[in-house]
Amino acid sequence: MPPYFVLSPRLAVPVCVFLILSGCSMEKPGDLTAGKPAQVAVESVVGPSSAAPAAAVQVPVSSVMQEIKSAPRAEITAPKVSHPAGEDPEFAKRQGWPVKTPAILPGSILPGKRIVAYYGNPQSKRMGALGEFPKDEMLARLKKEVAKWEKADPSRPVQPALHLIAVVAQGEPGKAGKYRMVMPDAIVNQVYGWAKEANALLFIDIQTGHDDIRALLPRFEWILKNPDVHLGIDPEFNLIRSGKKPGTKIGSYDAADINYASSYLSDLVKRYNLPPKVFTVHRFTRNGVTNAHKIALRPEVQIVMHMDGWGAPWLKRDSYKAYIVSEPVQYTGFKLFYHNDTKKGDPLMSPQDLLRLHPKPIYIQYQ
């Protein structure tokens, strides 16, 4: 590209002249530095019909200014910025972010802190980091992830958490015929003890299978009435309507189910005088949550729509945009799979990667 732009068919002014007369100077490509004194010397002004050589021609500054004033104004528009999926702040704004939320009550964890959680069950090494490693190693690994997030975003304190699958969906009906297994209270208490050791929160995660959240949730009031215990539900494993076995079809929750659970938590907060509960809802498909716009927000409950799919970074960003950003609820989360995200050679997304998303997730889960 030549070092000038055409202001009119009769005048081609070096870009340095235009910038100097505007009170700026060009120090390097794309760098405009204001505050330099205006200068008069012009190296060359060559028009289409001029026979003058490219040697230095002295032109009075008033003459140049007159040409600029009389020339037609070219419309200059800023180039459009391209963002990877899930990272476009303008798209997020058009969808309704940031969401207008109820008043933030004393003791609320969000949005003041970011939660970083290990997910799984101590009875299985295949369900997530919580059970994959021995307790001490697991807590040490979680501590390292927390440190990474603290370094990546010093503006937001990090709260560690253990996210226990307390009701596990099953491929067989079992004695109750419900295709789910409820963990014994002793297992729940064991993991709660680990959480206390690490100054972490505990999340009770429920995979209903063919059971009803309205029947299962009250089963855990004994632990949820503690101020540092919160809730997660997994639509993927809610298969009452389809009648399919868990693992053969992706399930779904409607806003009515989510509103029931939220109302239940709100009542617990009021009854036991607790700080607000965090409530995570896993999602990675369009039908995973139906009628999301009907989800009710309550001051006593902080709802996190949690992007739960696994795959390459581009696919995870696409899913975040399509199922989380496009249907605003309240807060957002993002799951990272140590094994499934990387099994095809893709890198595990870093805190820096996730902090480029809009809105930025404030609940991060590692499986």
| 268, pLDDT greater than 90 | yes
Mean pLDDT for the stretch of residues 182-203:
98
Maximal C-alpha separation, the chain = 98
Render the burial of 1-15: b for 16+ CB within 10 Å, e for the rest.
eeebeebeeebbbbe
DSSP secondary-structure letter at 184? Answer: P
Q: Does 143 map to a domain? A: yes
Amino acid type, 45: V
Place of tokens 């079809």: 249
Rounded Cα–Cα distance for residues 366 and 162 (Å): 10
Its domain, for residue 348, covers: 105-366
Number of domains in the chain: 2
CB 10 within 8 A of CB 47: yes
89 in a domain, yes or no?
no
Q: What share of the chain is helix, strand, coil (3-state, %, to 5)?
A: 30, 25, 45
Instruction: Name the strand (E) or helix (H) holding 232.
Output: strand 229-233
14 contacts 43 by C-beta, under 8 angstroms:
yes
Query: Which whole number is the average pLDDT over 4-12?
Result: 31
160 and 27, same structural domain?
A: no
The average pLDDT across 251-271 equals 98
What does pLDDT average to over the chain?
84
Asked whether residue 354 is assigned to any structural domain, the reply reads yes
The helix/strand/coil state of 302 is strand
Whether residues 178 and 296 share a domain: the answer is yes
Which tokens sit at 114?
Answer: 């970011």
- Model pLDDT, residue 228: 98
CA angle 236, 115, 192 (to 5 degrees): 80
Question: What's the mean pLDDT in 266-282?
Answer: 98
Which of 35-39, 88-92, 346-350 is predicted least confidently?
A: 35-39
Write the burial class of residue 193 (CB in 10 Å: 0-12 exposed, 13-18 middle, 19+ buried): exposed
Q: Give the range among 47-51, 88-92, 225-229, 326-330 with minimum mean pLDDT.
A: 47-51
- Write down the pLDDT at residue 84: 85
pLDDT (0 to 100) of residue 263? 98
Mean pLDDT, residues 231-252 taken together: 95
Do 209 and 304 have their domain in common?
A: yes
Q: Which two tokens stand for residue 92?
A: 């997020």
Name the least confident of 77-81, 145-149, 294-298. Answer: 77-81
Please write the tens of the pLDDT for every residue from 306-337.
999 899 999 999 999 999 999 999 999 999 99
CA dist 18 and 68 (Å) reads 9
Q: What is the pLDDT of residue 79?
A: 55
Same domain, yes or no, for 58 and 10? yes
pLDDT at 109 over 60: yes
CATH label of the domain that carries residue 344: 3.20.20
For 216, list phi and psi in degrees, rounded to 5. -85, -40
> Which is more confidently placed, 102 or 20?
102
Residue 220 tokens read as: 């855990």
pLDDT for position 82? 78
| 80 within some domain | no
Q: What is the pLDDT of residue 18?
A: 30
In the predicted structure, residue 271 carries a pLDDT above the cut 70: yes
The single-letter DSSP state of residue 276 is: P
- What single-letter DSSP state applies at residue 235? G
Residue 94 is assigned to a structural domain of this protein = no
Residues 64 and 109 in one domain: no
pLDDT band at 75 (very low <50, low <70, confident <90, very high): low
Q: Are residues 140 and 25 in the same domain?
A: no
